[in-house]
Each structure stands twice: as structure tokens, then as C-alpha cells.
């Protein structure tokens, strides 16, 4: 996603007092209040007279999830179109960049799946079952290819089919980009209104997304209070296992980046880590790789010492597509929930998770909790019940920070590798 002013939160002073409390703090307060309410309602032994109240506590989470599902496809569509219309990518560097992004994201997902398959965090405890049960379908990769082209251009927006949507978005993105270049060469400006409309739509979707995100503390409150009231604290032991597994996978991914930096660029990994620390800390504290983008770009040049062109390609262009931490997280979440509910995902289905996670991470905007939005698409592709994402929401405020730092580290790695084996100062 490219940087526009209005994606930043509005001036704090113009917000009502409760919106001025940072989201993370709001979620922590919601968690504490929810635990208190859950205990008051029975902590695993609820009285039948409270049954209706406890069931209805799930309503905010259900609404938030529905809204996220509804927003996911328009977000991916306009984000991809917007990037194609506005980013500047030179020819051969563009191909190298695409290859680097693809390999890094694939490695991230494989690391995530490997850790989830080895540690099996979903078997360490149990989570409550959602109301709806969905049959386990055996989807085959060939079927996926056959299904890649939609029946109608707008159909993927209605059916939330992420692969079809990416196909449509890429086709229109590439063509619009080509038309824009042709028109610029001929001195015409006919493309401008389309570019403006896409930019405005993009901003509109982000703003609606921000409304939904503002409701997340209520969703967390409801779902945690309901879970504690009905099941006590057992489900959270399982979630703790998930957190540990995700952190292990993210650390492994960071090691992969450092290895690539060491062998594929002139940059020393320590210099990379120390120079990038401002960007990592900003990413962790804002949960947004887009907000961190200018800092990433700056430190790559001033502290790590890369050329401006490599810094721009990785940190400004790559950042739009490159969300390795998000990809890893989405794949792990799918596997984790499949383990929790005993719905085994075979190799073919895990391959579908790999593919959809790549697309879902490309479509995830660099803003807080965006990964949760596109995660619904990964779940749907292998028929996992998306209702379980409500429980992941309770830990997302922390895991989002960690994966955002990895997203930024991924962009920086791409820049370092593009900078090559020879430092700038040797050429000067």
C-alpha cells in the first residue's frame, strides 16, 4: 500500500476521549473486564439462567468478523490496482524484485507450516466449538487452477474468492499501468481520473476498516467473557501455545533474512540489525509497516548505507506487496485452528493454504490488524470455520506487532539484496 496522508490516524485532539486511549490499551482493558465478567458468570460452570446473555456476548465479535470478511475483497482489489497505478518500478529491477518477494514470502509460509506441523500448538489444549459446522472438503490443486478464472468479473467480490480476485486485480492493474505509460508518452492525461477514483476508493475502504478496528476491543470483551464464562481458562492455554509457536517461526524467519543478507549482499548482518533497529521498534510500536515506511527508507540509506534506488525498491515499492510476517501468520493460524478442531489438512490442502496465504499477504494493507481481514479468505479456501478467528483476535494485538516487525525486516532484506555485493562508497 502506498503512503497517503489520510491513512494516518486523524489528529488525536479532535477525537473523543475514549478514542484517544491507544487501541492496545483499550484491548488490555477489555481483556481484564472480560475476565472479571467471565468469572462472575461462572468461569466454566455457567448458571442456566445466564445462558442467553452468555450466548449474546458473541454478537460484537460476529459483527466485526462479518465486516472484516466483507471488506477483505474490496481492500485487496483497490490496494493492488492502486499500487500498480502509482508505484514506479524500473524493468529488470522489477523482475528481480518480484522474484525476491516471491521467494521470501514462500519461505516464510513454509517456515510457518513447518513449525506448526512440528510443534502442533493446536493439540496442546482445546478451544470451544463455533456454532456452525462446515464439512471438510478435499480440495485439489488442479481444481484450484481450473477455478482461477471467475465466471464474471465482479463475481469474486461477491463470493470472496481471493485467487480469482487477484487474477482480476492483476489483469486490470497491469493493463491500466500500461495504458497510463502509453498516455504519458503521448502527452495525454486521460488516465488521471481513473487513478484518482482508485485512490479515493482505496482511502474510503481504509477508513471503513478503521471504524471496524475501533470496535475490536468490544469484540475481544464479548468473546473472552463468553469463553471464560463457558469454558473457564483452558482455551487460553491453547492460545499460549499458539503464541509460542508463532514467535518461534518469526525468529526462524529473521534468521533466514540475516543469512540472505550475509550471503547475497555486501551488508554485514550486525550492521543490518543495528542500523534497522529504529524501523523494527517503530514497526513493533505502531503495528503498521506503512506508517514505518519512511523510517525504513531513511535508515536503509543513512544507517545501513544502501543506495537510494535499492532502499526505494525494497522499502517503498516492495513494502506494498511484501508482508512475509503476515503470510507466515495466516498459514500458521489456519493450521493451528485445523489442529484445534481435529480437521486434518492434507498436503494438497496445505498447498492451498500456501497459495492463498501468498495472495492474502499481498492483499493485506500495512496497517494494524490487516492480516486478520485477509485471513478469512485463507480459512474459507480450505473450508475452516472463520468463527474461530474471533478467538485469535484476542491475541492479535501482540502478534500483530511481532509480524509487522518481520514485515519491515523482509522489506529491508529485499533492499539489501538488491544493493548487491558492492557497497555504494566503493563506487564513489
Contacts for 170-173: CB closer than 8 Å, 24+ residues apart: 170/80, 172/81, 173/80, 173/81, 173/83, 173/84, 173/85
Measured distance CA(369)–CA(396) in Å, rounded: 7
- Chain residue whose CB lies nearest ligand ASP: 371
Task: Check if the beta carbon of residue 75 is closer than 8 Å to that of residue 201.
Answer: no
Answer for which of 150, 217, 371, 410 binds ligand ASP (CB under 6 A) is 371
Cβ proximity to ligand ASP, 180 vs 403, nearer residue: 403
Cβ proximity to ligand ASP, 104 vs 343, nearer residue: 104
The one segment of 239-247, 250-258, 294-302, 365-373 that binds ligand ASP by CB under 6 A: 365-373
Under rule CB under 6 A, residue 276 binds ligand ASP:
no
Measured distance CA(293)–CA(105) in Å, rounded: 19
Residues 277-336 that bind ligand ASP (CB under 6 A): 287-289, 323, 326
Answer for which of 38, 121, 366, 410 binds ligand ASP (CB under 6 A) is 366
Residues 171-190 that bind ligand ASP (CB under 6 A): none
Least distance from ligand ASP to the Cβ atom of residue 341, Å: 23
Any idea of the CA torsion for 322, 323, 324, 325, to the nearest 10 degrees? 160
Measured distance CA(83)–CA(169) in Å, rounded: 11
Measured distance CA(162)–CA(358) in Å, rounded: 10
Q: What is the DSSP letter of 127?
A: -
Under rule CB under 6 A, residue 101 binds ligand ASP:
no
Binding mask 388-407 for ligand ASP (x = CB under 6 A): ------------x--xx--x
Under rule CB under 6 A, residue 364 binds ligand ASP:
yes
Measuring CA to CA, which residue among 154, 108, 153 is closest to residue 251?
108
CA-based end-to-end distance of the chain: 33
Least distance from ligand ASP to the Cβ atom of residue 240, Å: 20
Cβ proximity to ligand ASP, 108 vs 384, nearer residue: 108
Integer angstrom CA distances of residue 251 from 111, 117, 335, 401, 403: 10, 16, 19, 13, 10
C-alpha cell at 195: 487513478
Under rule CB under 6 A, residue 369 binds ligand ASP:
yes
Under rule CB under 6 A, residue 164 binds ligand ASP:
no
Binding site for ligand ASP (CB under 6 A): 287-289, 323, 326, 364, 366-371, 400, 403-404, 407
Amino acid at each position: 500500500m502506498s503512503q497517503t496522508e489520510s491513512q494516518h490516524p486523524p489528529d488525536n485532539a479532535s477525537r473523543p476521549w475514549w478514542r484517544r486511549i491507544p487501541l492496545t490499551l483499550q484491548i488490555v482493558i477489555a481483556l481484564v473486564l472480560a475476565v472479571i465478567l467471565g468469572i462472575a458468570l461462572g468461569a466454566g460452570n455457567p448458571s442456566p439462567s445466564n445462558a442467553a446473555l452468555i450466548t449474546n456476548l458473541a454478537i460484537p465479535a460476529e459483527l466485526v468478523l462479518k465486516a472484516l470478511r466483507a471488506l477483505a475483497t474490496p481492500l485487496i482489489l483497490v490496494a493492488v490496482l492502486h499500487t500498480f497505478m502509482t508505484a514506479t518500478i524500473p524493468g529488470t529491477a522489477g523482475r528481480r524484485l518480484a522474484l525476491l518477494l516471491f521467494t521470501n514470502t514462500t519461505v516464510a509460509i513454509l517456515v510457518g507450516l513447518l513449525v506448526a506441523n512440528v510443534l502442533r500448538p493446536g493439540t496442546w489444549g482445546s478451544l470451544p466449538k463455533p456454532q456452525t459446522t462446515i464439512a471438510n472438503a478435499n480440495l485439489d490443486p488442479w481444481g484450484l487452477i481450473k477455478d482461477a478464472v471467475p465466471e464474471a468479473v465482479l463475481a469474486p467480490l461477491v463470493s470472496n474468492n481471493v485467487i480469482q480476485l487477484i487474477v482480476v486485480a492483476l489483469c486490470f492493474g497491469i493493463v491500466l499501468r500500461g495504458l497510463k505509460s502509453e498516455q504519458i508518452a503521448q502527452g495525454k492525461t486521460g488516465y488521471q481520473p481513473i487513478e484518482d477514483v482508485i485512490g479515493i476508493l482505496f482511502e474510503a475502504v481504509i477508513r471503513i476498516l478503521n471504524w471496524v478496528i475501533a470496535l475490536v476491543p468490544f469484540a475481544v470483551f464479548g468473546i473472552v467473557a463468553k469463553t471464560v464464562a463457558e469454558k473457564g481458562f483452558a482455551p487460553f492455554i491453547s492460545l499460549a501455545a499458539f503464541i509460542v509457536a508463532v514467535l518461534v517461526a518469526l525468529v526462524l524467519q529473521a534468521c533466514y533474512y540475516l543469512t540472505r543478507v550475509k550471503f547475497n549482499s555486501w551488508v554485514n548482518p550486525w550492521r543490518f540489525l543495528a542500523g534497522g533497529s529504529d524501523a523494527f521498534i517503530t514497526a513493533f510500536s505502531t503495528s503498521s509497516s506503512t506508517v514505518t515506511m519512511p523510517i525504513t527508507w531513511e535508515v536503509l540509506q543513512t544507517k545501513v548505507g544502501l543506495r537510494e534506488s535499492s532502499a526505494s525498491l525494497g522499502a517503498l515499492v516492495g513494502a506494498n506487496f511484501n508482508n512475509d510476517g503476515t503470510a507466515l501468520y495466516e498459514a500458521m493460524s489456519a493450521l493451528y485452528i485445523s489442529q484445534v478442531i481435529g480437521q486434518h489438512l492434507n498436503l494438497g490442502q496445505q498447498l492451498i493454504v500456501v497459495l492463498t496465504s501468498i495472495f492474502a499477504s499481498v492483499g493485506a494493507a500495512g496497517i494494524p490488524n490487516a492480516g486478520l481481514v485477509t485471513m478469512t479468505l485463507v480459512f474459507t479456501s480450505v473450508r475452516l470455520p472463520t468463527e474461530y478467528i474471533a478467538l485469535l483476535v484476542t491475541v492479535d494485538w501482540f502478534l500483530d506487532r511481532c509480524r509487522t516487525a518481520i514485515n519491515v525486516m523482509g522489506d529491508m532484506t529485499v533492499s539489501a539484496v538488491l544493493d548487491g555485493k558492492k557497497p555504494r562508497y566503493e563506487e564513489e
